[in-house]
Amino acid sequence: MDEARLLQRISVNPQIFGGKPIIRGRRLAVEHILGMLGAGDTPETILAGYPWLEPDDIQACLVYARRIVANERIEPLTIDSAP
């Protein structure tokens, strides 16, 4: 599935989580899925915990995160000096 179609799975509703991005209009935030993946949960574990969730929903979260990061400047916490 192409990125544009995947991103259609992500929506924002000011009435849910203060307008944070959510998956298919449900009360599951993109950041929650990303946090689970970051904590080491596998997509299979996440899908088992949310029976209505589909693999493309997880992929959509990753695409969304990549697009956000691609447009964000992050200052390094430390600056390495050349030897």
Domains of the chain as residue ranges with CATH: 3-70 (1.10.10.10)
Q: For residue 64, is pLDDT > 90?
A: yes
Task: Quote the CA–CA distance of 36 and 27 in Å, as a whole number.
Answer: 15
- More confident position, 80 or 12: 12
CB 23, CB 33: distance < 8 Å: yes
Q: For residue 71, what pLDDT is reported?
A: 83
C-alpha span between 77 and 74 (Å, rounded): 9
User: Does pTM top 0.75 for this prediction?
Assistant: yes
Token digits for 50? Answer: 């949310």
Cα→Cα distances 71→5, 19, 28, 64, 74, Å = 20, 20, 24, 11, 10
48-59 per-position pLDDT tens digit: 999 999 999 999
* DSSP-assigned beta bridge partners for residue 11: 22
